[in-house]
Amino acid sequence: MKRNILRQLVEHGFDVTVVPARTSWQEALAYEPDAIFLSNGPGDPSAVEGVRDTVRELAARKPLFGICLGHQILGLAFGGKTIKLKFGHHGGNQPGQDLATGKVAICAENHGYAVDADSLREAGEPVEITHVNLNDGTVEGLAHAEKPLFSVQYHPEASPGPHDAGYFFGRFREMVARHKAGETVTGAAVASGRTASAI
């Protein structure tokens, strides 16, 4: 996990507890968290054993935000597949488009795999593709239409824009606060920046 992710979470008012990737969902919930964050990490996401089931259980119970590998694991947890890219995305100059607004952010990326869009659609879960890479059209963001969870493939904490994508941490904070207050809030509404009245 990148240190700047932790710094951004703390700056947005979170009290963070870090647990190993092999932590069971029961062990994670024993900390009584308000939300779950899925971090970045190396390698082939489909080779990370057991984590997709854990994430699916956590997603049924808590608001959730994932970055990079966390985004890919979330895609797997909801029935999608990942594919190895012919040319991986590496560097601080990748164009990521928000499909709700049309806005393009300069994104920092370092990954060789991507969530396969067709497999997500075929899985039948109400998961929306929220962002795409304009170089090759691959999935850059996901959000659930019924649950409070969303994810991005790139690294908003790396600040290549420098602040093009930093708003995700604020939206995560908003989603958690509204969920904790008993509101019905979805990742799709929050990730797209829709107001509470539009949910």
| Annotation says 107 is catalytic | no
Put the strands of the sheet holding 82-98 in their side by side order. 36-38, 64-67, 149-152, 139-144, 127-133, 82-98, 104-115
Q: What is the pLDDT of residues 126-153, one digit of tens each?
A: 999 999 999 999 999 999 999 999 999 8
Q: What is the pLDDT of residues 166-196, one digit of tens each?
A: 678 888 999 999 999 999 999 998 877 764 4
| Contact between 88 and 50 (Cβ < 8 Å) | no
| Annotation says 163 is catalytic | no
CATH number of the domain at 3-198, please?
3.40.50.880
Residues 175 and 143: their CA atoms lie apart, in Å, by 12
| Annotation says 157 is catalytic | yes
Q: Sign of the CA dihedral 144, 116, 97, 57? A: positive
Query: Of the listed 71, 89, 111, 155, which one is catalytic?
Result: 155
Looking at residue 38, its pLDDT comes to 95
Query: Of the listed 122, 157, 163, 179, which one is catalytic?
Result: 157
Query: Of the listed 57, 68, 71, 125, which one is catalytic?
Result: 68
| Contact between 184 and 147 (Cβ < 8 Å) | no
